[in-house]
A and B are shown apart, each in its own frame.
Chain A
Amino acid sequence: MVGPSAPRVERRVLRNGLEVLLVPRAASPVVSVWVWYRVGAKNEAPGTTGAAHWLEHMLFKGSRRYRVGEMDRAIVEAGGILNAFTDADFTGYFSTVPREHLAAPLDIEADRMTGATIPSDEIDRERSVVLSEREGNENHPIFRVEEEIYGLAFREHPYRWDALGSVQDIRSMDREALYSFYRRYYGPDNATLVVAGGFDLPSMVREVDRRFSGIRAKVADPRVKVVEPPQRGERRAALRGPGSTPIVRIGWRAPGVGDPRASALLLLDLHLGGENALYPTGGFRGAREHPTARLYQALVDTGLAVRAGSDWPPRIHPGLFSLFAQAAPGVKGDRLEEALLEESRRLTRTLLTPQELRRLKERLVRGASLAWEGSTRTAFRLGFFRTLGNLAWDRQILRRALTLRPTDLRDTARELFLDASRNVVRYEVDPAREGKAASGGEGTDE
């Protein structure tokens, strides 16, 4: 029942420590090349928050072999796409190109690994781009709430800041901060290269060796030693601003992906919010509609909320398990908070029926059936699982999940939903800033 469609992966480790995962698919017209670095916002310190993300931007700004803009041109002119992303635990770079152009992304990633130039004259320009990215996010109340709750729940661990960093740090950081971060954490011994798509395996092995095996190993240990002390009481924050209706997010400190309870958390998340965190299909912002999910039934079907969900983003270190909802027009935040709390308490008191649990397990497993279609998606998933744990991480979690009983989920809920480790963020719409629906007139300030 577990993972029948996971792809066959050729795994190699070069002498310099670079792990290489290759998934050849003869019929595919494309090749997707990804490099995952085990460094992210967790490796930053106060004063340099946002460095990992800003550096990610700078690594498109030239290297030994590529001048500013040439990486973009090499991929896009070949009909390909390229991008990158920074998370708390990792940073990833990828390109997907028509298969006859696979040399370009391999060349770029090899050069980017240790040869980035991070030109001084690009620093200020990119600083304002990064600030703009952050300000664009700030326009969405859900981003503000999410950023706030991590800042509330964590006081020591770097998970307390968002990967975008603080405005003050972005304004004050200089090239040296970014360059030293790069020198410290970027190298073959801290990375996984994943290539999936239409290529011939022996020749790809040669192509990878030729480009990557000469790069010297060098990086600092990216593991974070900081341990967040136990939370000893509820913490609350209130935000106000423009928006449609109140938003409530409640987060409890929760284990990381390597914890044996991860499988139970995955099932609880699926039960409450409806999203399959192992094989996600939706966007990261707001819940998709899941009429079978408990929170949807308790809050949306009853008219309290227009959306409701749960969230347990897989993290290497202990993170947060959250419940959230956005109120229906006219409903107060108090009622939302009470309804969310009631659902968390219900799981500590009552057992899921065997039928409910069976359905959850089936959904978890079925998510795997489409998880490996397409080279870009396959390469993403392999790199993601490997960076979080190991290549078979999803299958290990699935296997354990299939053995769980209703009492296991109730027990995990009792350990999770403690009053003393609860964090509550409420976003209230400022009455002075309350919007009027634009329809029916021009809706302007004229």
Chain B
Amino acid sequence: MSRSDPMRSPALQLTRHELDNGLVVVHQPSPPNSVTFAVSWVGEGGTSRDPEGKEGVATSLSRLLNAGTRRRSKRDFAREIDRLAATFSARASWERLEIEAGGPQAAQQDVLALVFEALTEPRLESTELQRVRREMREGLLREATQPDERADRVFLERLLPVGHPYRRNPLGSPRSLGRLSREDLVRFHRQHLTARGSLLVVTTPDAPATLLRKLRGTFGTLDGTSPRGPPTVPESRHRADGRRRGELHYISVPGTSQVEVVVGGNAPPRRHEDFAALTLANEILGGRSVLSRLFQDVREKEGLAYGASSELESLSWAGLWTADAGTDPKHVQTVHHLLVDEVRRLGERGPSTQELERIRESFLGSLPLMLETSTQAHGLAVEVGYFDLPLDHFQQWPVELRALTPSDIRRVTQEHLWDGGPPLAVAVGPPLKDRHRDGATRRSGGRSAAGADHA
């Protein structure tokens, strides 16, 4: 069978352009044989830009971008998406507000026009704001009672100080939601959904010049400048408070079946010089691969959880990493020890040359799987565009990763993941019996899991 060379894929031949209004456009050729195209508009109107006391405004706005425009009702907008066999979604994360759309290549022009319409002329009707408010209130209630969602929220609230851009709940609070008005949405829209400070990424069969010509009549007319750069990022509470290191903070939700255990801490942002090494450290620890240490330890060797994994967030202003697993209440301490112990071990000893080689080649070898269709390839272009990475970043990625040694992995794990002590740990699940009682905290020094608690 012939060998594919992913580095020569047209989908990696990215170009960056700037329209006269300051909007940055990243062009990505569609992979051969792909019948679809994809587009993302990315602005810096994330939830961290919510005004004080009006938390939830960015999320509300993102949910209203597909709820009708000045020209079309919500139903007509949805019908048009259906007619084009297109997809359309909008979401707000801490840093960004994004619209992502796609569909058959034949519908590209119509879908681009629809994205522009949603971006520039949303209706923002009060009745729709009420609907979104109801949905977000339900989301807050769900977050309080569902172990996985609650564990993630509590983890952030314990790790990060008030005022940190990633600590804010994207859903706001019952109080802030009650205060939101249509005027707040209009103001936020005007400030943040602008040309300068935003990015448009298009994965298309069009040549760059053709695409730019098409965009000038629509996205080229967008105006305004949105604030850029990080808001104030205060020092992590966890890092500052050594007494809390190693504690497992347990929260009970009666009536649930499984405990969700989350450990983690701060990490560098995407453009940090150690990010490549941390990417591999995360792959070794608990990345996508079933070969990762956490999956092997927690599921394959011990049979303690259906899944165990870790994640390194790609963010601009600061960073986060987490590792998690869902387990039976009687195994919560053991799983906590296993998660912590692997971080400690990787930071103390690093991987073997063989382990590093195996994980790295698996990681690089998976690139062709992301280059078959426009939708799959699109995420790579958005990453390059949003983080302002070199256009040949993914072509150079193998060279950069293959230059890393086991000692590099050990160093970045020690420095960024272990960071002077065991990571913060939170567990949420059914009430525990006896010594694993409600609200209890247990300390893990990151010792070997052998002999750990089995209630």
A139 to B130, CA, bound (A): 29
- Asked, given contacts A140-B146, A443-B150, whether A98 binds B365 with beta carbons under 8 Å apart, the answer is yes
Partner of B134, one of A99, A297, A328, A433: A328
Verify A131–B328 contact, CB threshold 8 A.
yes
- Asked, given contacts A132-B258, A132-B326, A367-B85, whether A438 binds B154 with beta carbons under 8 Å apart, the answer is yes
Please, could you name 24 A-B residue pairs with CB atoms under 8 Å apart, sorted by A? A28-B33, A72-B290, A77-B362, A79-B363, A79-B365, A98-B368, A98-B369, A128-B328, A133-B306, A135-B328, A138-B256, A198-B2, A240-B255, A245-B141, A301-B131, A362-B83, A370-B104, A429-B145, A430-B255, A435-B141, A435-B144, A440-B175, A444-B158, A446-B249
Besides A78-B362, A203-B1, A433-B255, 14 more A-B contacts (Cβ < 8 Å) are: A25-B33, A77-B291, A77-B358, A79-B366, A132-B305, A135-B258, A243-B142, A292-B82, A303-B130, A303-B134, A306-B134, A329-B134, A443-B150, A445-B251
A359 to B76, CA, bound (A): 12
Partner of B138, one of A99, A133, A245, A432: A245
Verify B154–A444 contact, CB threshold 8 A.
yes
Verify A434–B145 contact, CB threshold 8 A.
yes
User: In the assembled complex, which residues on chain A have CB atoms less than 8 Å from the CB atom of B327?
Assistant: 132
Verify B258–A125 contact, CB threshold 8 A.
no
User: In the assembled complex, which residues on chain A have CB atoms less than 8 Å from the CB atom of B77?
Assistant: 291
Partner of A281, one of B31, B87, B258, B300: B87
- Asked, given contacts A77-B358, A124-B303, A132-B305, whether A373 binds B34 with beta carbons under 8 Å apart, the answer is yes
User: In the assembled complex, which residues on chain B have CB atoms less than 8 Å from the CB atom of A28?
Assistant: 33, 372
Q: Which residue of B lies closest to A362 (CB)?
A: B83
- Indicate whether A91 reaches chain B with its CB closer than 8 angstroms: no
- Indicate whether A354 reaches chain B with its CB closer than 8 angstroms: no
Verify B78–A292 contact, CB threshold 8 A.
yes
A100 to B119, CA, bound (A): 43
- Indicate whether B169 reaches chain A with its CB closer than 8 angstroms: yes
- Indicate whether A136 reaches chain B with its CB closer than 8 angstroms: yes
Contact with B along A220-255 (1 / 0, CB 8 A): 000000000000000000001111110000000000
Which of B3-11, B13-21, B109-117, B227-235 lies at the interface with chain A? B3-11
User: In the assembled complex, which residues on chain A have CB atoms less than 8 Å from the CB atom of B2?
Assistant: 99-100, 198
Q: Which residue of A lies closest to B426 (CB)?
A: A444
Partner of A29, one of B9, B251, B254: B9
| A contact set with B: CB distance below 8 Å | 5, 25, 27-30, 69, 72-73, 76-82, 96, 98-100, 102, 124-136, 138-140, 198-200, 203, 240-245, 281, 289-292, 297, 300-301, 303, 306-307, 326, 328-329, 359, 362-363, 366-367, 369-370, 373-375, 429-430, 432-440, 442-446
- Indicate whether B137 reaches chain A with its CB closer than 8 angstroms: yes
Verify B150–A438 contact, CB threshold 8 A.
yes
Q: Which residue of A lies closest to B4 (CB)?
A: A29
Verify B4–A99 contact, CB threshold 8 A.
yes
User: In the assembled complex, which residues on chain B have CB atoms less than 8 Å from the CB atom of A373?
Assistant: 34-36, 373, 375
Which residues of B83-98 have CB atoms within 8 Å of chain A's CB atoms?
Answer: 83, 85, 87
Among A25, A240, A281, A306, find the residue whose CB has the most chain B CB atoms closer than 10 A: A306
- Asked, given contacts A132-B258, A135-B258, A366-B82, whether A244 binds B142 with beta carbons under 8 Å apart, the answer is yes
- Asked, given contacts A72-B290, A79-B365, A99-B368, whether A244 binds B303 with beta carbons under 8 Å apart, the answer is no
Q: Which residue of A lies closest to B67 (CB)?
A: A291
Q: Which residue of B lies closest to A440 (CB)?
A: B173
- Total chain B interface residues with beta-carbon distance under 8 A: 97
Verify A129–B144 contact, CB threshold 8 A.
no
Q: Which residue of B lies closest to A128 (CB)?
A: B303
A21 to B6, CA, bound (A): 27
Verify B158–A442 contact, CB threshold 8 A.
yes
Task: In the A-B complex, list the 5 residue pairs whose CB atoms are closest, starting with the nearest.
Answer: A79-B365, A435-B144, A125-B303, A244-B141, A435-B145
Verify A100–B3 contact, CB threshold 8 A.
yes
Verify B4–A243 contact, CB threshold 8 A.
no
A180 to B32, CA, bound (A): 47
Partner of A438, one of B31, B140, B368: B140
Partner of B147, one of A82, A139, A442: A139
User: In the assembled complex, which residues on chain A have CB atoms less than 8 Å from the CB atom of B175?
Assistant: 440
A241 to B256, CA, bound (A): 8
Among A80, A138, A292, A432, find the residue whose CB has the most chain B CB atoms closer than 10 A: A292
User: In the assembled complex, which residues on chain A have CB atoms less than 8 Å from the CB atom of B293?
Assistant: none
User: In the assembled complex, which residues on chain B have CB atoms less than 8 Å from the CB atom of A326?
Assistant: 138
Verify A445–B6 contact, CB threshold 8 A.
no
Verify A129–B299 contact, CB threshold 8 A.
yes
A362 to B254, CA, bound (A): 47
A306 to B67, CA, bound (A): 15
A132 to B303, CA, bound (A): 9
CB distance from B426 to the nearest CB of A (A): 8
CB distance from B57 to the nearest CB of A (A): 14
Verify B372–A374 contact, CB threshold 8 A.
yes
Among A132, A140, A306, find the residue whose CB has the most chain B CB atoms closer than 10 A: A132
Verify B364–A433 contact, CB threshold 8 A.
no
A25 to B4, CA, bound (A): 13
User: In the assembled complex, which residues on chain A have CB atoms less than 8 Å from the CB atom of B375?
Assistant: 373
Verify B33–A435 contact, CB threshold 8 A.
no
